[in-house]
A and B are shown apart, each in its own frame.
Chain A
Amino acid sequence: MNSDEEIPSDEVDSGNVSSSDDVEFPMEVESNTSREKQNEIEDYPYEVLSTEQIVQHMVDSIKEVNSVIQLPHTTIRILLNHFKWDKEKLMERYYDGDQEQLYTEARVVNPYRKSINAQKKQSRRSTGTEECEICYMILPSSMMTGLECSHRFCTHCWTEYLTTKIMEEGLGQTISCAAHGCDILVDDATVMNLVKDSKVRLKYQQIITNSFVQCNRLLRWCPSPDCNNVIKVHNVEPRPVTCKCLHTFCFLCGENWHDPVKCHLLKKWIKKCDDDSETSNWISANTKECPRCKVTIEKDGGCNHMVCKNQNCKADFCWVCLGSWEPHGSSWYNCNRYDEEEARAARDAQERSRSALQRYLFYCNRYMNHMQSLKFEHKLYASVKGKMEEMQHHNMSWIEVQFLKRAVDILCQCRQTLMYTYVFAFYLKKNNQSVIFEDNQSDLESATETLSEYLERDITSENLADIKQKVQDKYRYCDSRRKVLLEHVHEGYEKDWWVYTE
């Protein structure tokens, strides 16, 4: 059955396509793309790489190993992938262990043994014909090809086979020989020689780079939709990184930057929110009723100070607690705080589970509230831009009105921090330090709401000079309070103050 037995291969043919695989990794690499300058953000250096640069980076890694271990590039790529792109580990295993076993594990043929095979083939060269075991065509040997394992099929069938594997099964790293039960992997050069369709080539490239990025601890795709950049760090840490698309996220977990809460608690929280999606849908509903006249009110800005749209009512109330707005300005009214006294009373009155749910709802409500407000941030930037232009018509210079943009920046930072403080607080057990934390949170929350209110409604052309001072004072205050809160939490991490409930 195996036509390979009798019919020798031809040297000039495409015989063993992979015998030419000392060529460089055949991905289309943009030449001379100058790598981005390293971003030095605080003390955490990282780079933003485009897809082309990632391919280049992969080629560089292969070359680096190649300068030590003289193996074909594809063999090194497959071996590196086997060791999750840990170069040290590969070299250690290569020099210390059983190399033959290493090749078997990674499912490649020993490239040194391969050349013996190739010689063997050359010795039985002829210009015959062979039958392809896939399409049953009888073809000249020059149209037949195969890997080191000597299973030969026609180039047309190979192309179709590879295309099916890549496009239908999404395979890239681990396409094995088309023969039944043969484990030998197809190398990059073979794929690129046989597949000419640019769509398939692109998909193959994506699969390879994706697995390179996913295997490599120091790399992470930017999670922003439609962004194809990769962040490359020197150490894996829970740190904020900002992509060229301006998305900022935590390198360790990929979520939006979430200081002060730690990755594992945030993960737990997000899972909880998903599991309780029905509840949280209800919470995040964008409308509420006016506590006085019951008219439905939609939240259309980030500020919590609501004024009822019903002209006969005009009640002032707080969006979060639905209480009257009036006491929110004074320090004794702790809207942002889950009052443990009250909670205990509620526990006495209601069953345990209900109280746990209410506790969760309390934190979730506030978390969602800030998230919701952040979603309106682009609206606020637009409206502030209008105000800045207006101010410039009132004899203020461009530089003089920049404070407004800065104010919105700080407002958004504060909301993002506040949002995650509720996740942190949800899992926090009460102690002396947690009380200080809640005071900080409360202080930042009320200052942030005031700043939000200034920006949303208080600026008119008449009171420019006055409001500028007020806004600047407030955002500086917010900024400093935010830093105080974060530093306090970080200090607590260092000194083991924080005890979690679960």
Chain B
Amino acid sequence: MAALPRRIIKETQRLMAEPVPGISAVPDESNARYFHVIVTGPEDSPFEGGLFKLELFLPEDYPMSAPKVRFITKIYHPNIDKLGRICLDILKDKWSPALQIRTVLLSIQALLSAPNPDDPLANDVAELWKINEIEAIRNAKEWTRKYAMDN
């Protein structure tokens, strides 16, 4: 494996030294570019009480290109699809090399607090979120209980 760039080493060290509240991100033992992430469902959101597993991978040209992030735990959210892929501008065209793993994870946490059904990835979920928010939130709570509270 190629030597790890200083940027990744430093960023990982800082992330370990000052973790983001409600988020844990641990590099894999055998691959320092692969992170095991757990995000706590934000308070006052339908995801409250859930622990959501994600994977985060830093591609070869990181930080010139964005990290690849995906939810592993099933989640009922208008901006996250069945495969756990996330619709977030900073992971796409708004990525800047000055952003970090920390900012990405904070943005994901914010997305859980404030779903955006107008920029959807999961169409059926977004649809319901728009026409019947109460039912959509009920579904999200249901999924959180079912899939994110086991362990």
Contacts and interface: CB of A to CB of B under 8 A. Distances in A.
A153 B103 CA distance: 18
A160 interface: yes
A180 interface: yes
* Chain A interface extent, by class: 10 to 19
Given A160-B64, A161-B64, A180-B90, A134 B97 contact: yes
Prevailing SS type, chain A contact patch: loop
A178 B63 CA distance: 11
Contacts of A178: 96-98
B82 interface: no
Contact of A179 (B6, B61, B65, B98): B98
Contact of A135 (B7, B65, B96): B7
A136 B11 contact: yes
Contacts of A137: 6
A133 B99 CA distance: 8
B95 to A, nearest CB: 8
Interface residues of B, number: 16
Contacts of A179: 96, 98
A157 B64 CA distance: 9
Contacts of B61: 164
Interface string A107-140: 0000000000000000000000000011111000
A97 interface: no
Contacts of A135: 5-7
Interface string B54-77: 000000010111000000000000
A181 interface: yes
A160 B61 CA distance: 10
A136 B98 contact: no
Contacts of B6: 135-137
A182 B96 CA distance: 9
A181 B99 CA distance: 10
Contacts of A153: 97-98
Interface string A176-190: 001111100000000
A384 to B, nearest CB: 57
Contacts of B64: 160-161, 164
A136 B97 contact: no
Given A134-B63, A160-B64, A161-B64, A181 B97 contact: no
A90 to B, nearest CB: 28
A194 to B, nearest CB: 14
Nearest to B11: A136
Given A153-B98, A180-B99, 11 more contacts: A135-B6, A136-B6, A136-B7, A151-B98, A153-B97, A161-B97, A168-B65, A179-B98, A180-B96, A181-B96, A182-B96
11 contacts: A134-B98, A135-B5, A136-B11, A153-B97, A157-B97, A161-B97, A164-B61, A164-B64, A180-B94, A180-B96, A182-B96
